[in-house]
């Protein structure tokens, strides 16, 4: 699986799985449909927070790897403040040095 991202609004983040190209949005929709289809008799709870955690953690982990752990660069790349970044890194226990 590979991820393609071009930094213009005319392109979308897409996921390639050998022969199929899907946007991240399509992947999320598919994953949520799968989640709801397999709940059985259980009631879903905190779906919003579950989805945020599933997306945010790998997002922050990947950005921190790409910036070599530089929080200033990572925050700028993400378009968020360093304070917000630090809170998110702590939440997902990604606030330890890379390496």
User: What does the pLDDT look like over 33-89, one tens digit per residue?
Assistant: 999 988 888 898 899 999 999 999 999 999 999 999 999 999 999 999 999 999 999
Report how far residue 49's alpha carbon sits from residue 51's, in angstroms, rounded to the nearest whole number: 5
Q: Which CATH class name applies to 45-99?
A: mainly alpha
pTM as predicted: 0.72
Q: Are 61 and 92 in contact (CB under 8 A)?
A: yes
> Measuring CA to CA, which residue among 41, 19, 42, 23 is closest to residue 31?
23
Q: Are 64 and 89 in contact (CB under 8 A)?
A: yes
Q: Are 30 and 22 in contact (CB under 8 A)?
A: yes
pLDDT at res. 10: 45
pLDDT at res. 21: 85
pLDDT at res. 19: 65
Domain parsing of the chain, residue ranges: 1-44, 45-99
pLDDT at res. 12: 55
Q: Are 74 and 64 in contact (CB under 8 A)?
A: yes
């Amino acid at each position: 699986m590979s991820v393609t991202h071009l930094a213009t609004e005319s392109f979308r983040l897409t996921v390639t799985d050998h022969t199929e190209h899907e946007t991240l949005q399509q992947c999320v929709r598919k994953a949520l449909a799968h989640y709801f289809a397999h709940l059985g008799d259980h009631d879903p709870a905190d779906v919003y927070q579950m989805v945020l955690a599933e997306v945010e953690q790998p997002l922050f982990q990947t950005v921190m790897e790409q910036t070599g752990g530089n929080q200033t660069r990572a925050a700028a790349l993400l378009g968020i403040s360093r304070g917000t970044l630090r809170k998110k890194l702590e939440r997902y226990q990604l606030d330890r040095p890379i390496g």
